[in-house]
């Protein structure tokens, strides 16, 4: 049977949901999890609940803070020593940075951004969007193991009835190796909203929002829905929104259950980042805006009237 490892990242006291999505999908296989640095109790409980047999926690000097080299070196050693055949991880910013490095160190194949996969016995095959999401490609990996797979958050969904694993925790002493570029300071965002890539609901603003100040109406709606606020590149380029908020081809790829696009035209590069959302609601004054061709629900109207009205109505029921 293939030896499978899932790399997880911390999210507060827990772990990123995408790890649990992957574990649920791998039900029936014996799966280990690896993390760098201690995992909180919520995280350990959930990993076991969703099927992790062994939870390896890598610790060592210079691993307290993320560095692509330190993470790649320590994980490479751990994966090699463990003799893993497949290494899965959520396609997050950190993983996009570190996983290709590790695959390169092994001179091994990698399938990135898959939105679904099957393990037929010991053989992986998956699907991933291509050409800005216009088509789905089937991906298989050839060549020597280990093979690396990154999975888009929110694409698989959580298992409703996960099969638990033993969840044995094992501390591993790891070596970061030579780190040439060190991060001197990490500035945490003051927002307590979920990261865009993990968010279940997203309210996004485009050029129609005009400026930062006007985001307050989106923030109000987002607060009610427990949503994260995103933006189109038009606003980011105009410095009216932070780059961390950008959704699209050169921003973040998101797959929430609900995406509310406010004053966004629906350019192909924006659609590339959000078209796999389960339900898309578009609010736009232009009935011919391309976003309406992808929207499940469309409201032709001025967002400065529609969004506050929506917020008021939701306040009555939420």
Ligand X SMILES: Cc1cc2nc3c(=O)[nH]c(=O)nc-3n(C[C@H](O)[C@H](O)[C@H](O)COP(=O)(O)OP(=O)(O)OC[C@H]3O[C@@H](n4cnc5c(N)ncnc54)[C@H](O)[C@@H]3O)c2cc1C
Residue whose C-beta lies closest to ligand X:
248
What is the DSSP-derived secondary structure letter of residue 246?
A: B
Other CB atoms within 10 Å distance of the CB of residue 101: 15
**267 near ligand X, judged by CB under 6 A:** yes
Distance CA 245, CA 233 (A): 9
Is 209 in a helix, a strand, or coil? helix
CB of 295 to ligand X, least distance (A): 12
Distance CA 262, CA 211 (A): 13
**312 near ligand X, judged by CB under 6 A:** no
Q: Do residues 59 and 172 touch, judged by C-beta distance below 8 A?
A: yes
**284 near ligand X, judged by CB under 6 A:** yes
Residues 214-243, mask of contacts with ligand X (x by CB under 6 A): ------------------xxx---------
CB of 258 to ligand X, least distance (A): 18
| Nearer of residues 21 and 240 to ligand X, judged by Cβ | 240
- According to CB under 6 A, which one of 283, 292, 298, 311 is a site residue for ligand X? 283
Distance CA 125, CA 117 (A): 6
User: Is cis: bond before 25, omega within 30 of 0?
Assistant: no
Is 236 in a helix, a strand, or coil? helix
Distance CA 20, CA 154 (A): 10
C-alpha angle with apex 273: 123 to 241, nearest 5 degrees? Answer: 140
| Nearer of residues 43 and 206 to ligand X, judged by Cβ | 206
Residues 32-71, mask of contacts with ligand X (x by CB under 6 A): ----------------------------------------
Q: At a CB cut-off of 8 Å and minimum separation 6, what does 231 contact? A: 204, 205, 206, 209, 240, 241, 242, 245, 246, 247
| Nearer of residues 25 and 270 to ligand X, judged by Cβ | 270
Judged by CB under 6 A, which stretch of 35-43, 58-66, 148-156, 245-253 contacts ligand X? 245-253
Judged by CB under 6 A, which stretch of 45-53, 168-176, 191-199, 257-265 contacts ligand X? 257-265
**206 near ligand X, judged by CB under 6 A:** yes
**285 near ligand X, judged by CB under 6 A:** yes
* Chain residues in the site for ligand X (CB under 6 A): 206-208, 232-234, 246-251, 263-265, 267, 269-270, 273, 283-286, 289, 302-304
């Amino acid at each position: 049977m293939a030896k499978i490892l899932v790399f997880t990242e911390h999210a507060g006291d827990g772990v990123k949901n995408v790890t649990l999505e992957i574990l649920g999908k791998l039900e029936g296989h014996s799966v280990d999890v690896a993390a760098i640095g201690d995992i909180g109790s919520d995280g350990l409980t959930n990993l076991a609940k969703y099927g992790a047999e062994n939870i390896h926690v890598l610790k060592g000097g210079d691993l307290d803070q993320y560095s692509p080299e330190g993470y790649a070196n320590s994980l490479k050693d751990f994966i090699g020593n463990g003799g893993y055949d497949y290494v899965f991880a959520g396609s997050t910013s950190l993983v996009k940075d570190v996983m290709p490095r590790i695959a390169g160190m092994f001179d091994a194949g990698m399938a990135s951004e898959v939105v679904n996969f099957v393990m037929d016995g010991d053989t992986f095959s998956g699907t991933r969007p291509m050409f800005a999401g216009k088509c789905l490609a089937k991906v298989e990996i050839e060549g020597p193991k280990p093979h690396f797979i990154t999975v888009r958050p929110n694409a698989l969904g959580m298992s409703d009835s996960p099969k638990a694993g033993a969840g044995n925790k094992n501390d591993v002493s790891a070596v970061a190796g030579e780190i040439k570029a060190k991060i001197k300071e990490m500035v945490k965002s003051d927002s307590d909203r979920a990261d865009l890539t993990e968010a279940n609901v997203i309210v996004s603003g485009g050029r129609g929002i005009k400026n930062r100040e006007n985001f307050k109406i989106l923030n109000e709606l987002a607060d009610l829905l427990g949503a994260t606020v995103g933006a189109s590149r038009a606003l980011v380029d105009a410095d009216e929104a932070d780059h961390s908020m950008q959704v699209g081809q050169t921003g973040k790829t998101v797959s929430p259950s609900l995406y509310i696009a406010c004053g966004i035209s629906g350019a192909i590069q924006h659609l590339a980042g959000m078209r796999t959302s389960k339900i898309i609601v578009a609010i736009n004054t232009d009935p011919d805006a391309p976003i309406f061709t992808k929207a499940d629900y469309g409201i032709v109207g001025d967002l400065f009237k529609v969004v506050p009205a929506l917020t008021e109505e939701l306040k009555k029921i939420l």
